[in-house]
Amino acid sequence: MHVFLKLGKFVVRRRKSTLAVFILIICLGGGIGSLAISKLDSGGYSDPKSQSAQVTKYLNTHFHTKDPGVVLVVDSQTNVSDPAVTASALKLQKLIAAEPGISQTLSYWSTGGAPTMKSADSKAAFLFIYTTKTDFASVSDVGKNIQAKYDGKFEGLTVYASGGGVITHAINTKISKDLALAEAISIPLTFLLLVFVFGALVASAMPLVVGISAILGAFFIIFLLTLFTSVSIYALNLITGLGLGLGIDYALLIVNRFREELHAGKSVEESVAITVSTAGKTVFYSGLTVFVTMLSLTLFPLSFLKSFGYAGTSVVALAVAGALIPLPAILAMLGHKVDKGVVRKSAITPKADGRWASTARFVMRRPIPVVIVSLLILGICAAPMKSIAFAQIDARVLPVKDKAAIASAVIAERFIGQEGSPIEIIVPNGSTKQGEVDSYISKVGAIKGIVRINPSQQNGSDLRISAVQSMPSRTTQAEVMIHALRALPAPAGTIVGGPAADFTDSQDGIAHTLPWALGWIALSVLILIFVFTGSIILPIKAVILNGLSLVATLGALTWIFIDGHLKWLVGDFTITGTLDTGTTILIAVVVFGLSMDYEIFLLSRIREEHLLGKTNIESVATGLQRSARIITAAAGLLAVVFASFAISGVTSIKFMGIGVAFAVILDATLVRALLVPALMRLFGERNWWAPKALQRFTLKH
């Protein structure tokens, strides 16, 4: 007996106990998983095996140095050397030094007027604050406290609070508030749309069974992971968005097939068993393609991206489990009551023929013009990619009027160098080769962007050289500077670190891993779709079409977030001239996975009709009629969930929401409804071809 048919019959027989056990597990897991939120961090952008990581470890071990957790700019409006300004600034520094969690403070005034710590106009100066603990939570707590107490006016001075602790707290707080607001908008709106799509109140609640169980279960898994590794706070957005989205996808497919079998005259028990053996099997393989796609994120060296891999695979696995276990159990108990509370009668009974079948036949009568026009539209969307550029998030992801963003802008505008985040160079045995070191230092000073080189420090025979650059550390200009610096002839063993090098190593780590991740996605998806469909042609077409859809999405995002269009629709944001690298990869992986989700939905039904003996044209027409409504409805609902992230004041979250929403709508309409049937018509029966030697590895339907 088919394994999915066995599962369906088991769930029907043990419907009450199955549902009770599942609810108990999810409630316990969700309760424990809620503890994970306080353990998440907003970092994870560093490559732990990089050259910059070696420098950080060396400095911590031998020089006991660390970056300031909070950076204050004290603006005097006069000259920072004035006695009255000095007295007030030192008083401020003394008050701050007494705050909890602070180990040391360092300022322009306490160093005797170090020229490197004052602004270009001599009216403002730095006050660095070092924390006793360096973990994200502790530094963020100190940043929160300092900003709340001291950002603003102090005895005629204006204080601006910035630095890692302040920015981390600002981003985390903003994301938490925005996520709550997004959910407050998207969940009621989604439920109303679900009622419309399902046509009945009872049926419309089914996606919540799958979605909420997936979200709560994923929180529990993330909590367990926080006990062993760092997990990004941004993973919360992916869990909620993907959990609800997949819940909608899978519940639509399962409920739609259950209704179809019921209305064909089968019993409730038989309908559930057949639903699990057909739609359930599709859900399993669809989820498996999304799972392996999300798994690719764990290949990257940055814990930021690994976090999304952990979150994505967890929520996908639990969404599949929710669709295959509790949902069929509920349907077995509901039976014909699944249609109770009718709102839209036309949605209750799936039609064997209708507008989607007509659309498919229209497309297949004119396949070549449809392909040409569709590719032209995709090309227009992709065109802005010519100006695409990548960097990583900094304070500019915050709203322009946010205090942390204002402080960071003041630093960038009024201070020549990045005093709080210098380039750190370690030269092993440097004191024994002074001539070579002197020559190297002169070359470093000539690199574009280097403002000043501080006197070297010695640890045994090793030398530490600090260089101050003019541009912010997490920018493409800093990346170019670090590459130029590392290309210089240097004493043997020389390593370059600091925040700018850390950013560069992160970007390089992503670039080096990306081909492997893409290879993993393409190969695993090709194999899975081949096994599911028994075709060599269909997996190749699916990967190519998804690639085209993804390129079009990146072009649209470039047009919006780099060229600065559509602010009236997506909300205001700071144009930096770049897209966030990590979020772009996340969007690409999520979109590719969801596109494959819809591809499996469509091909599964076309394949089923083809195996019943229908012609290629009729198989596509019936398959599109049976599945396109589900795909477009699921895509529309998923777009609503992710588009709600556009209200976020954090640009990277806005970027993710708009990116996923645009991509799923583009894919469900232009690609699945037009390109797929057109290409299916052009390839004809060759769609299902595979070498005889490989046919034994395919799934028996």
| 590-610 confidence digits (pLDDT tens) | 889 888 888 888 888 888 888
Count of beta carbons in the 10 Å neighbourhood of residue 352: 10
Scanning the structure block, which residue is given the tokens 């769609």? Answer: 687
Nearest to 587 by CA among 681, 701, 510, 663: 663
SS3 for 604-668 is HHHHHHHHCCCCHHHHHHHHHHHHHHHHHHHHHHHHHHHHHHHHCCCHHHHHHHHHHHHHHHHHH
Give SS3 for 464. strand
| 124: β partners | 75
| 8 Å CB contact between 276 and 7 | yes
> 197-218: per-residue pLDDT in tens?
888 888 888 888 888 889 988 8
What local confidence, expressed as pLDDT, does residue 353 receive? 63
| 405 pLDDT higher than 50 | yes
Lowest mean per-residue pLDDT among 345-359, 520-534, 622-636? 345-359
Q: Higher-confidence residue: 700 or 341?
A: 341
For CATH 1.20.1640.10, list the domain ranges present in the chain: 3-43+169-394+505-695
What local confidence, expressed as pLDDT, does residue 555 receive? 96
| 8 Å CB contact between 338 and 327 | no
CATH level 3 topology of 3-43+169-394+505-695: Multidrug efflux transporter AcrB transmembrane fold (1.20.1640)
Produce one character per residue of 445-464: b if its CB has 16 or more CB atoms within 10 Å, e if not: eebebbbbbeebeeeeebbb
CATH level 3 topology of 422-497: Alpha-Beta Plaits (3.30.70)
> 66-108: per-residue pLDDT in tens?
778 899 999 998 899 999 999 999 999 999 999 999 999 999 9
Alpha-carbon span 172 to 523, nearest angstrom: 37
What percentage of the chain carries pLDDT values higher than 90?
38
Q: Higher-confidence residue: 641 or 282?
A: 282
Measured in degrees and rounded to the nearest 5, phi and psi for residue 449 equal: 105, -15
Structural class in CATH, domain 69-162: alpha beta
Q: Higher-confidence residue: 614 or 479?
A: 479
| Spacing of C-alpha 183 from chain mean position | 17
Specify the pTM. 0.85
Q: How confident is the model at residue 180 (pLDDT cuts 50, 70, 90)?
A: confident
Please provide the average confidence, as pLDDT, over all residues in the chain: 87
What local confidence, expressed as pLDDT, does residue 440 receive? 92
| 8 Å CB contact between 230 and 320 | no
> 343-392: per-residue pLDDT in tens?
877 666 666 666 777 887 888 889 999 999 999 999 999 999 998 998 88
| 8 Å CB contact between 608 and 320 | no
Token pair for 379: 């090309």
| 8 Å CB contact between 76 and 144 | no
Q: Which amino acid is at 608?
A: E
Helices (H) and strands (E) in the chain, counts: 26, 12
| Spacing of C-alpha 297 from chain mean position | 10
Alpha-carbon span 33 to 240, nearest angstrom: 13
Q: Higher-confidence residue: 579 or 186?
A: 579
Alpha-carbon span 532 to 241, nearest angstrom: 27
Token pair for 117: 């710590």
| 249: β partners | none
| 495: β partners | 426
| 8 Å CB contact between 218 and 243 | yes
Nearest to 214 by CA among 348, 380, 365, 326: 326
Count of beta carbons in the 10 Å neighbourhood of residue 515: 9
Alpha-carbon span 292 to 306, nearest angstrom: 14
- 83 sits in the region (left: phi over 0; alpha: psi -120 to 50; else beta) called alpha
> 642-654: per-residue pLDDT in tens?
888 888 888 988 9
Scanning the structure block, which residue is given the tokens 């353990």? Answer: 39
Average pLDDT over residues 252-266: 88
| 8 Å CB contact between 607 and 701 | yes
Scanning the structure block, which residue is given the tokens 């083809």? Answer: 610
Alpha-carbon span 77 to 85, nearest angstrom: 10
What local confidence, expressed as pLDDT, does residue 42 receive? 63
| Spacing of C-alpha 310 from chain mean position | 11
> What are the DSSP calls for 400-446, one per residue?
TTSHHHHHHHHHHHH-SS-TTS-EEEEETTGGG-HHHHHHHHHHHHT
Q: Which amino acid is at 466?
A: S
How far apart, in Å, are the Cα atoms of 269 and each of 111, 266, 329, 333? 80, 8, 10, 9
Determine the straight-line distance between the first and last CA of the chain, rounded to whole angstroms: 12
| 8 Å CB contact between 200 and 343 | yes
Token pair for 418: 């990045």
> What are the DSSP calls for 159-173, one per residue?
EEEESHHHHHHHHHH
> 288-331: per-residue pLDDT in tens?
999 999 999 999 998 888 989 999 999 999 999 999 999 999 99
Q: Which residues contact 373 (CB under 8 A, 6 or more apart)?
A: none
| 106: β partners | 128
Q: How confident is the model at residue 38 (pLDDT cuts 50, 70, 90)?
A: low
Count of beta carbons in the 10 Å neighbourhood of residue 486: 15
SS3 for 94-150 is HHHHCCCCEEEEEECCCCCCCHHHECCCCCEEEEEEEECCCCHHHHHHHHHHHHHHH
| 8 Å CB contact between 467 and 533 | no
Q: Residue 4, exposed/middle/buried by CB under 10 A (0-12, 13-18, 19+)?
A: buried
Query: Cα angle vertex 131, ends 130, 136, to 5°?
Result: 120
For CATH 3.30.70.1320, list the domain ranges present in the chain: 69-162
> 469-522: per-residue pLDDT in tens?
888 888 888 999 999 999 999 999 999 999 899 999 999 999 999 999 999 999
What local confidence, expressed as pLDDT, does residue 1 receive? 45
Angle between the N-to-C axes of helices 235-263 and 303-324, in degrees from 0 to 180, rounded to the nearest 10: 20
Which ranges of 264-354 does DSSP label H, i.e. alpha helix? 268-275, 281-295, 303-324, 326-334
